[in-house]
Structure 1
């Protein structure tokens, strides 16, 4: 089955839409108010303290095969429309490789977010820094906070 340019454009647009939905599904909450399903019904240790300092940081985006595969599909479709015979096959491969690299970079950039590093002086005078998503809480020096830990996850909340 040979596709004309319009059919290829529609297929590419569909692939981009599917990729976008996939990226949206990969987004996870890294803030103090977000818990994973596995953290439910798990005992956690709570300590109290005071915010010493707050520093804004960047949380890198996700790097799953979804971005690379979606980009490779789009690049392969786009490349297949270039040339004929052997030239089209080479353009398809080059398009798929370039699309895969671009799709991976787009996924990482689209899922990157603003984070915050909160340094807390606990009631036992120990200092602890916790990095989490910047959504929800607006921490300031001097704020009284809770530090919640379960052995692998730590979060700062009010």
Structure 2
């Protein structure tokens, strides 16, 4: 029974894997689309945290594991009570783990365009930018990224 539960949990977690977000990574639907390119100079860079919405996988996984562990700890009718307590505690712990794991480092990059306009773009902190650097802003009308 434990093996089946562990395999089911592994399958759920694997199905929730997402591709990395980055200023340098394009999803397949973003290819072969024209983008507007604007040139500018970095005015400032500020460290930010990018929080992804919680999927509920951490809560469900924690509850399943906590309930399984709790039911193994109790005996007889106590197994039900300890299973429920384990499920609640595991769900809360799983939710906190997912929340912390989904937060990523990011930059808020303020760019002064050659036209004189200021633009701020927030993106993952996978490429370093410094004030005074020349950069490109690539925009498809929905998303904008800053690149060198």
Q: Residue 54 of structure 1 corresponds to which residue in structure 2?
A: 45
Aligned equivalent of 2:145: 155
Whether contact under 8 Å (1:19, 1:66) holds in the other structure is: no
Q: Is the 8 A contact 1:75 1:99 kept in 2?
A: yes
Match of 1:4 in 2: none
Q: Measure how far apart 1:129 and its partner are.
A: 0.6
Q: 2:115 aligns with which of 113, 117, 124?
A: 124
Q: CA RMSD in A?
A: 2.6
Contact 1:58 1:112 survives alignment (8 Å): yes
Shift of 1:50: 0.5
Uncovered stretches (5+) of structure 1, i.e. residues with no partner: 2-7
Maintained 8 Å contact 2:40/2:134: yes
Given the two structures, how large is their TM-score scaled by the length of structure 1?
A: 0.80
Count residues with an aligned counterpart. Answer: 147
- Look up the match of 1:18: 10
Q: Structure 2: 5+ residue runs without aligned partners?
A: none
How far did 1:61 drift?
Answer: 4.2
Deviates more, 1:53-62 or 1:20-29: 20-29
TM-score, length-normalised on structure 2? 0.84
Shift of 1:92: 1.0
Is contact 1:68–1:104 with CA below 8 Å preserved after alignment?
A: yes
